[in-house]
Chains A and B, each alone.
Chain A
């Protein structure tokens, strides 16, 4: 048996690492992956609290988060491809113009 707070602390650690990746990384794909890591950390909280309250609503919310993450990944990666086609680079420091 493990206290529920362990799960929540793990989730917080993962979320923190995701935030750190979002801030530190320079490759736009990796930044995007850090966002996915943050979403995953939040999902863990949802499932853990769903267990805590003995209710399935948390799990259903995770389902919706996953669906939205899939949609987001499709559009986000399409944008990345479009940007790469215009700039020839994935470095976010070089994407500082609204129009090129």
Chain B
């Protein structure tokens, strides 16, 4: 059961990611990215990270991507133009990418020998534990990040405002 689910969601994630690259209209790319994020949320669930899966959908797919879609719709800039600048990248890119992947795959599968298997319910990351750890061990980063968010809000408002003065 577990491998089946894994391969379904992994294939979906990779398929959507490829679609992101192939599509020419930014909205279609954004939809593909939402698909990737939903597949990843399912994979997080399979890794026992309930809270992260929910936050992935709420924050990434539900807030950040809505912002992207909003901006794409607002600007309504249409399809992107293709530019073929680098012939080297065109012909050498894909083979090099595959070589890189195969190398990485062999190294990773050697590093993590078959004794580290993933299965359901082996490591349930309860939300309460995450909260406790977040507010005890990681309190300072949490506060710093909240200030970062505040700065980002102010920055976004200043940048996107029409200059009327």
State the A residues within 8 Å of B (CB): 1-10, 12-14, 16-18, 20-21, 23-27, 29-30, 32-34, 36-37, 40, 43-44, 47-48, 50-52, 54, 56-57, 59-60, 62-64, 66-75, 77-82, 84-85, 89-91, 93
Contact = CB atoms under 8 A, between A and B. Distances in A.
Contacts of B14: 10, 13-14, 17
Contact of B156 (A2, A66, A75): A75
SS class of chain A's interface: helix, strand, loop or mixed?
helix
A1 B118 contact: yes
28 contacts: A1-B3, A2-B3, A4-B116, A5-B109, A6-B6, A12-B108, A14-B36, A16-B100, A17-B17, A20-B93, A25-B80, A27-B80, A33-B68, A37-B17, A47-B49, A51-B122, A54-B123, A56-B125, A57-B133, A64-B145, A67-B149, A69-B64, A70-B64, A70-B149, A74-B156, A78-B158, A78-B159, A81-B159
Interface residues of B, number: 79
Q: Which 10 A-B pairs have the closest CB atoms?
A: A71-B152, A78-B159, A27-B80, A78-B160, A78-B156, A1-B117, A74-B156, A17-B17, A5-B109, A5-B108
A23 B61 CA distance: 23
Contacts, number: 225
Interface in B25-48: 26, 29-30, 33, 36-37, 40, 43-44, 47-48
A1 B118 CA distance: 5
Contacts of B36: 14, 37, 40
A46 to B, nearest CB: 9
Nearest to A89: B77
Contact of A66 (B55, B109, B117): B55
With most chain B CB atoms within 10 A of its CB, the pick from A20, A56, A72, A90 is A56
Contacts of A6: 6, 10
A82 B6 contact: no
